[in-house]
Amino acid sequence: MFGRCEDPSSLDGAVWLLCYLTTPTHQSFYLAFGTVLLLLAITAPLSLLFGFGGALASRSTIAPLRWFGRGYIAMVRGVPEIVFFMFGPIALDQAFEYLRHRAICPDWSEPVRRGNDFVVCTAAKLPLNADPQWMHEIYGFALAILSFAIVYGAFCGNTIRGAFDAVPKAQIETARAFGMNQRQLFWRILLPQMWIFALPGLSNIWMILTKATPLLFLLGVEDIVYWARELGSAKTRAYSFPHPNWQLWYFLALLAFYLGLTRVSEIVLVRLNRRLSHGQATLAGASRTAACR
């Protein structure tokens, strides 16, 4: 990065360490922290959306929709996460390519599935072989986000469904006695009060999601765990900056990062809980209301 870093063998002390920490490889390591935060920023609302849809579907009066919602929540929650992450991105990739194959190459006469091979026409591949490397990386990252959202959306769906059931029945009956229709009942009674009951469970899911981000390594995404292992491993004289095994220090940096993220999350969730509890018919809501008087 700096002109004086061109010859690492002539450096020592703090200058050597500064040059070592500013190599292009280390810059990829620093950007990987942004990759993790971006994953969380996109996956959290997407999981909440999937969970909300699954919860509503599981409570539907339409039988097929109700079976789908309950099946999604039960099946995804019942599969170990690591198993789903090893299978989900491959299945999603093949599903997208198959749909493109049917749309772009309708005259294709050969079977797509040939034993263990999955073969589609060249124009249907995602991404195309001629596409730059960054498009391949973005596509892999998008598959990872979708896989995370499907898994944790099922957990969110189970939590939200329980939160809907926790809303006091007396309030629902009172709303009906005042002449509210089903839509008014949902938007004015169920939905506003559901969140206070769902927040503790959703908070736990958020914490679990943050701890699951190292699974990006299994999905082929070069995340912070990948770079910590690569950069921390012993480097011989064949490398520009030789050093012994420093993986302990790199993983201590990851420990500090995740503990800091957890602490910030706790502060935000506590404030959100206080905001949602105000005026609600819960113990936290009563305490909050009494404190404001």
In a domain, 80, yes or no: yes
Of the ranges 24-28, 185-189, 238-242, 266-270, which one carries the lowest mean pLDDT score? 238-242
Q: What per-residue confidence (pLDDT) applies to 282? A: 54
Q: What per-residue confidence (pLDDT) applies to 254? A: 92
**CA dihedral for 166, 170, 171, 175, sign (positive or negative):** positive
Whether residue 222 has pLDDT greater than 70: yes
| CA–CA gap between residue 278 and residue 293 (Å, rounded) | 12
Task: Band the pLDDT of 286: cuts 50, 70, 90.
Answer: very low
| CA–CA gap between residue 249 and residue 247 (Å, rounded) | 5
| CA–CA gap between residue 57 and residue 241 (Å, rounded) | 56
Whether residue 260 has pLDDT greater than 60: yes
Number of Cβ atoms within 10 Å of the Cβ of 63: 8
pLDDT digits (tens, 9 = 90+) for 42-70: 999 999 999 999 999 998 889 999 999 99
pTM over 0.85: no
- Are residues 249 and 268 in contact, defined by beta-carbon separation less than 8 angstroms? no
Residues spanned by the domain of 150 = 39-212+224-292
| CA–CA gap between residue 285 and residue 288 (Å, rounded) | 5
183-209: burial string, b at 16+ Cβ within 10 Å, e else: eebbeebbeebbbbbbbebbbebbeeb
> In CATH, what number is assigned to the domain containing residue 277?
1.10.3720.10
Q: Which residue reads 């929709």 in tokens?
A: 65
- Are residues 54 and 154 in contact, defined by beta-carbon separation less than 8 angstroms? yes
Number of folded domains in the chain?
A: 1
In a domain, 31, yes or no: no
Name residue 113's beta-bridge partners: 118
In a domain, 20, yes or no: no
Q: What percent of the chain has pLDDT over 90?
A: 31
In a domain, 142, yes or no: yes
**CA dihedral for 176, 179, 181, 185, sign (positive or negative):** negative
- Mean pLDDT value of segment 151-170: 91
In a domain, 244, yes or no: yes
- Summary mean pLDDT of the chain: 85
Whether residue 225 has pLDDT greater than 60: yes
Whether residue 169 has pLDDT greater than 60: yes
pLDDT digits (tens, 9 = 90+) for 15-51: 888 888 888 888 888 998 998 999 999 999 999 999 9
In a domain, 72, yes or no: yes
Q: What per-residue confidence (pLDDT) applies to 11? A: 66
In a domain, 16, yes or no: no
Q: What per-residue confidence (pLDDT) applies to 289? A: 47
Residue 220: phi and psi, rounded to 5, are 85, 10
Q: Both ends of the chain: CA-CA distance in Å?
A: 59
Task: Band the pLDDT of 84: cuts 50, 70, 90.
Answer: confident
